[in-house]
Amino acid sequence: EVQLVQSGAEVKKPGESLRISCKGSGYSFTSYWISWVRQMPGKGLEWMGRIDPSDSYTNYSPSFQGHVTISADKSISTAYLQWSSLKASDTAMYYCARHGERVAGLRNAFDIWGQGTMVTVSS
């Protein structure tokens, strides 16, 4: 079964650092880009950035550039989203999502999603 499994919920204090993970299985991890998507409580989806796990090339939304870092370890089929100094406004559900197969025209759509990781930042 093709799936993305994310790490568990986190509760952090402002100023702390955090890295959450997204492990792919059931497919060739390096053949598909991974994006991260934020959903603040009661709000809509926001695209944050994406990584090509084959070479770790990244693109970021201007809204998130400089605030988060996306990385990947292809040896363990895992992508990461990390913060160096969390703020209360980072409280949200974070999803990783796989871009679909290029040949099938799905490269610019997100065909497999992780279950989400809830990050709560509170003093």
Residues that bind other proteins (CB under 8 A): 35, 37, 44-47, 50, 59, 61-63, 95, 97, 100, 105-106, 108-111, 113-116
**Which of 17/33 has CB closer to other proteins?**
33
User: Angle 51-52-54 (CA atoms, 0-180°, nearest 5)?
Assistant: 140
Q: Rounded to the nearest whole angstrom, what is the least distance from the CB of residue 28 to other proteins in the complex?
A: 19
**Using CA atoms, how far apart are residues 9 and 14, in angstroms rounded to an integer?**
16
Q: Which is nearer to other proteins, 73 or 101 (CB)?
A: 101
Distance of closest approach, residue 43 Cβ to other proteins, in angstroms: 8
Task: Return d(Cα 113, Cα 105) in angstroms, integer.
Answer: 18
Q: Which is nearer to other proteins, 54 or 61 (CB)?
A: 61
Least separation in angstroms between CB 13 and other proteins = 26
Name which of 13 and 107 has its Cβ closer to other proteins: 107
**Closest approach of other proteins to the CB of residue 54, in Å:** 18
Q: Which residues of 1-40 are buried (b: 16+ CB within 10 A; e: fewer)?
A: eeebebbeebebeeeeebebbbbbeebebeebbbbbbbee
